[in-house]
Amino acid sequence: MIKLEKVSKKFGIGPHALSNISISVDKGEFVFLVGPTGSGKTTIFRLIIREMLPTEGSIVVDEWDIINLPKKKIPHLRKKIGVVFQDLKLLTDRTIFENVALPLEVINIKPDEARKRVEEVLSSVGILEHKDKFPLQLSGGELQRTAIARALILSPDILLADEPTGNLDDDTSWEIIKLLSAINEKGTTILMATHNSDIVKKLGKRVVSLDKGLLVGDAKGKHPEKEEEKK
């Protein structure tokens, strides 16, 4: 589903943002991407959606060769990948319904079909009753659900979530994690970047660890810290 092979990324004359990273994510997996700020988590997301190209290495998403993908094919790739951005990127002058419907407008879906799809996805994330409100009227958790709904509106095979619980309290964070887990159980592959060690430990999913652009751990179905505690 996602395969990074010996991927490096360097910006200007500074140190490598990523150095010789090799990661494979299977279809239907839920993988946590962890590491301190600046470790390369967001860079990996930007590479996967072809927002930029690696300095070295190869990236394959499903059957798409990201490096050699023609520019005209990039929109087709991005239809298969939903992204929940760290800063959400919601438009404050549009309602929740309008924010979620935006990707459908871009691909010219008929209004009646778009309305049906938006209401279905808003219902699935539990915020249909807020569809006519504006982002400033919603809580942090409701905004995250809106961002997740927008990421799901094109029925992607892959969901990238960049710190989706970053600014939320513990209870709301767990609500978002339960939502993402339910989405994963329906078959969507999820790669989630997070600093929340409590969630990572308790959920028991695969954990890929980065530090200063290096891959320092890949623990399937367990967290490295838990393993240390057993020793």
Region 95-120: what's the mean pLDDT? 96
**pTM strictly above 0.75:** yes
- Tens digits of residue pLDDT in 64-85: 999 999 999 999 999 999 999 9
CA nearest 128: which of 111, 155, 112, 149?
149
Residue 93: phi, psi to the nearest 5? Answer: -95, 10
Residue 119: phi, psi to the nearest 5? Answer: -65, -35
With cut-offs at 50, 70 and 90, classify the pLDDT of residue 193.
very high
Per-residue model confidence (pLDDT) at position 221: 59
Per-residue model confidence (pLDDT) at position 8: 97
Per-residue model confidence (pLDDT) at position 15: 83
Q: Taking 60 as the threshold, does the pLDDT of residue 225 lie above it?
A: no
Per-residue model confidence (pLDDT) at position 33: 97
The ranges assigned to domains in the chain are 25-52+69-230
- Tens digits of residue pLDDT in 14-65: 789 999 999 999 999 999 999 999 999 999 999 999 999 999 999 999 989 9
CATH topology of domain 25-52+69-230: Rossmann fold (3.40.50)
Tokens of 120: 């279905």
CA dist 195 and 98 (Å) reads 31
- Tens digits of residue pLDDT in 108-167: 999 999 999 999 999 999 999 999 999 999 999 999 999 999 999 999 999 999 999 988
Count of C-beta atoms within a 10 Å radius of residue 129 = 10
DSSP codes, 117-148: HHHHHHHHTT-GGGTTS-GGGS-HHHHHHHHH
With cut-offs at 50, 70 and 90, classify the pLDDT of residue 231.
very low
CA dist 225 and 94 (Å) reads 43
Per-residue model confidence (pLDDT) at position 220: 74
